[in-house]
Amino acid sequence: MLPTTQAWIIDCKPADDWKTFIEYWKGMYHYSSKSKAYDVYVIDRKMPFKFDSVILRGLFEWKNNTEDKLSEKKVSSVNQIIDKLEVVNQLADDWDAKTFSDSFGKISAIWQVFLMHVIQPSQFPIFDQHVYRASIYLQTGDIGELKGTTKQKLNAYKEYQAFFGDVRLASACDSRNIDKALWAFGRFIKQYPRLFSKTSL
């Protein structure tokens, strides 16, 4: 259940609605990757569209957000995805959860979710530690971190999906703006956790 009011912004923030929260926090979003791959191939994707190895590699380099360089382990994971390029394009045309799990269930949870997102962005919101932290705080007032096994993280994502859908319905805001706002807010919590402790409120 979403709160209808909240002191959204520490100290001088207005107690207002979700739209106000999103409008404020999306302006605080700053992602350091200089790559335009995500905007071009996910947000502003032109149809008809087919993924290729260059596009997929570029998207995962954007997601990595460390000067667009991937570790050896992550390169191996991306190569496993690229090896099944035909499946990726099949899922983009016709999503099937079992096919996805059978094909990509062995890669890390966060990268599974990112792949789901780039394949079907309207169905699967992007997910990481910051948006998860924001969602937990906004629902419970606690600071929660994304931990556990791959299965536990995927279950956490399902809960986040429901939360994200509720926010989208309540705010009538664009999904990308919701993501930016939650990412910026979650990152702010990580930077200034004392401001969000229950003893300080």
For residue 99, the model assigns a pLDDT of 98
The per-residue pLDDT for 132 is 98
Identify which of 140, 123, 125, 142 has the alpha carbon closest to the alpha carbon of residue 182.
125
User: What are the average pLDDT values for consecutive 10-residue runs of the chain, which has 201 residues?
Assistant: 45 59 92 84 93 95 77 88 98 97 96 97 96 94 94 97 94 95 95 78 48
What are phi and psi for residue 52, nearest 5 degrees? -135, 180
> And the tokens for 154?
């995927």
User: Do the beta carbons of residue 125 and residue 164 sit within 8 Å?
Assistant: yes
Q: Residue 143 burial (CB < 10 Å; 0-12/13-18/19+)?
A: middle
pLDDT, position 164? 97
pTM of the model: 0.87
Contact 86, 43 (CB under 8 A): no
Contact 25, 178 (CB under 8 A): no
87 in Cβ contact with 10 (< 8 Å): no
- Check residue 67 and give its pLDDT: 57
- The SS3 call for residue 201 is coil
DSSP letter for 114, please: H
Query: How do the domains of the chain map onto residue ranges?
Result: 6-31+126-200, 37-119
